[in-house]
Amino acid sequence: MKYIAISILLTVFVLCPPAAAFAQDAGGGIDQKIGEIFGTVFGPFVSFIFYSVTINGVSFPLIVAWLILCALILTVYMGFVQFTGIRHSIDLLRGVYSNPEDAGEVSHFQALATALSGTVGLGNIAGVAVAVSLGGPGATFWMIVAGLAGMASKFTECTLGVKYREEFPDGHVSGGPMYYLSKGLAEKGKPGLGKLLAVLFAIMCIFGSFGGGNMFQGNQAHQMIANTFGIFTDTGWLFGLILAVIVGAVIIGGIKSIAKVTEKIVPLMAILYVGTALVILIANFTKIPTAFGLVVQGAFAPEAIGGGIVGVLIQGLKRAAFSNEAGIGSAAIAHSAVRTNEPLTEGYVALLEPFIDTVVICTMTALVIVITGAYADAGGMTGVALTSAAFQSVFPWFGVVLAVAVLLFAFSTMISWSYYGLKCWTYLFGESRISELTFKLIFCVFVVIGCSMSLGPVIDFSDAAIFAMSLGNVLGLYLLMGTVKKDLKDYQARIKSGEIQRYK
Amino acid sequence: MTDTMLIGIDGSKAGEHAVNFAVSQAKAGDTSLVLAYVVEWSPYTFNTPEENEQRHLRRKEEIKTARERVLDPVLKSLESQGIEALGVVRHGQVADVLLQIAKAHGAGQIVVGRIGHSGIKSLLFGSVGRKLIQLAHIPVTIVP
């Protein structure tokens, strides 16, 4: 009943231009006010997270170095598992090692798909455009490098997520950095530090779920819908209100049908998006060598980009980290639901995530932007508008498809992040109906705020909140990587000896 | 030598007919019966995180429901007729799982009821019977 009411409400707003026009007159001031308040409140937080040092006259946020260093160290320490183990990852995904007796439990594929629906989305469409417009084509190169290295971080954190998850008597599971930090470090004789890092992570994850997992999504979806259909242009708050009602219907009202429909359409949208990008690349195959030339040359010898090579590097690394979330710890929450006796199997599957997200999908977007020349004559365009312009220069109708895709991606990412945030919230405040409801209501309020603000303050805050999660998580990964390495050796030996059985 | 017969049931009338047919065959000779209920499930679907979290619970409930509502009543009625049968509940693609169970129990025959779908519905959902006929290495009987 509620669902029907919401549908009607939405239809009325979409199909009633006079109503939208009326609301426009009233809305502009509110948008601006919310933006101002927001910048003042969260400004200090943003500058703390992005504390930068100056190298060669270029400011370098230490947090980016923190993440990429962790990814590189783990890559070497785990013996380049993302390259040597990728075959095994695909075997696991195909169910080669799944006991048919366990059919009906969460499969490796489902755990990966769920985690991916939280990361594939606006980062791949809008974030890449931001990187290319600020850092030039060369940013793509560093994005791919960061994506490949990030696979090792994902491998480690998702293995830990399953290893130290909490299984409740009724059979439901909760896992993620807050659990492996507290339990894992307690095993290492550091229960105090573990608890501290776990709480730090949980707080930052809640902020992250309001920022990158919510406001950034709503903001970009609003921009896209406004640009494409010319509705809600000055009434972001109204768009946000409608979106918040739908999000609330799913996470508070528990209306499964909306989530079900989204979960079915989102993968199709992703395939359509990558497919269209491929068609554009194939149609312009003569320009591909030039584009690659621009990417490589731009990566090492950038022209006319502020900050030179370091500037390009930072743009690429930042966007990759924001898109695939390796080292951030979010995916470990989603991956923990898989049913397996071997935590390592989930690590192997999870390492495919940055590969699909960054190395495949982000690179597609970047190449389309470069190959169509959209980045060169952007004329101040950035974010999703730039990606849209690039695709539309080949297929004028694609704007509509992209607008729908962006809206759905934004929605499914919001649903995923509301879960991550909720898990951290209940870790801190306990699992009760009241505490869950409180979180969900706040989450919906942030949907409205996110849609009301201009890109600048939103992107700053969402970056800061997401990156802040890595503070405790990465430290925990360093302290626990020895445990994972030991388990990995043991697991590889058992695969070799045939103790871990193949079923296909 | 004992012959094993696998019967796929789904709580429908056709499934009931399949059981009756199998029983009439079993009475004639020394045949042991395996009754299987397959919960339609695929490892390649897209779920929300909440669904994944609750999956273990749901699976237990699905198995319990299948046993209580479908399998146990049939087993009971067979028992009252003095026929012993084994009941199995599994998740997966129906035809594939039936074949796996048949192999695991060394069944010599599979009996299933005909699903009364026609036209578009059977095109959309496929047909368990048709798939079994294509893939089975043992005789398959489809009971209308």
- Which domains are delineated in chain A? 25-497 (1.20.1740.10)
Angle between helix A343-350 and helix A455-497 axes, rounded to 10 deg: 130
pLDDT band at A10 (very low <50, low <70, confident <90, very high): very low
Number of helices (H), then strands (E), belonging to chain A: the values are 25, 4
Residue B36 Cα, gap to closest chain A Cα (Å):
14
Domain B3-143 adopts which CATH fold? Rossmann fold (3.40.50)
Copy the structure tokens of residue A164: 């130290």
Q: pLDDT averaged over chain A?
A: 84
Note whether B39 contacts A: Cβ–Cβ < 8 A. yes
Q: How far apart are CA A59 and CA A61, in angstroms?
A: 7
Q: 3-state secondary structure string, chain B?
A: CCEEEEEEECCCHHHHHHHHHHHHHHHHCCEEEEEEEEEECCCCCCCCHHHHHHHHHHHHHHHHHHHHHHHHHHHHHHHHCCCCEEEEEEEECHHHHHHHHHHHCCCCEEEEECCCCCCHHHHHHCCHHHHHHHHCCCCEEEEC
**Cα B139–chain centre separation:** 15
Name A1's Cβ contacts closer than 8 Å, sequence gap at least 6. Answer: none
In A92-208, DSSP assigns E strands to: 166-167, 173-174
pLDDT tens track for B1-16:
468 889 988 888 888 8
Cβ atoms of B43 and A95 within 8 Å: the answer is yes
A89-115: per-residue pLDDT in tens?
Answer: 999 999 899 888 888 889 999 899 888
Distance of CA A193 to the CA centre of its chain: 27
Q: Which of A100, A171, A263 sits opposite B57 (nearest CB)?
A: A171
Q: Residue B54 is nearest to which of A113, A172, A264, comparing CB atoms?
A: A172
* Statement: residue A26 has pLDDT above 70: no
Q: What residues pair up with B3 in beta bridges, in sequence order?
A: B31
Nearest CB among A110, A117, A174 relative to B43 is that of A110
Confidence tier at A19 by pLDDT (50, 70, 90): very low
Q: What is the pLDDT along chain B (144 residues), one digit of tens a residue?
A: 468 889 988 888 888 888 888 888 877 677 889 999 998 888 888 888 888 888 888 999 999 999 999 899 999 998 888 888 899 999 998 888 999 999 999 998 998 887 655 555 555 555 777 888 888 889 898 888
- Tell me which residue of A448, A382, A33 sits closest to A215, measured CA to CA: A448
Q: How many Å apart are CA A63 and CA A328, to the nearest integer?
A: 11
Residue A285 burial (CB count, 10 A):
9
Complex-level ipTM = 0.81
Task: Round to whole Å and give the CA distance between A86 and A84.
Answer: 6
Domain ranges of chain B: 3-143
Contact between A245 and A6 under an 8 Å Cβ cutoff? The reply is: yes
- Cross-chain Cβ contact A114/B52 below 8 Å: yes
Inform me whether the C-beta atom of residue B38 falls under 8 Å from chain A C-beta atoms. Answer: no
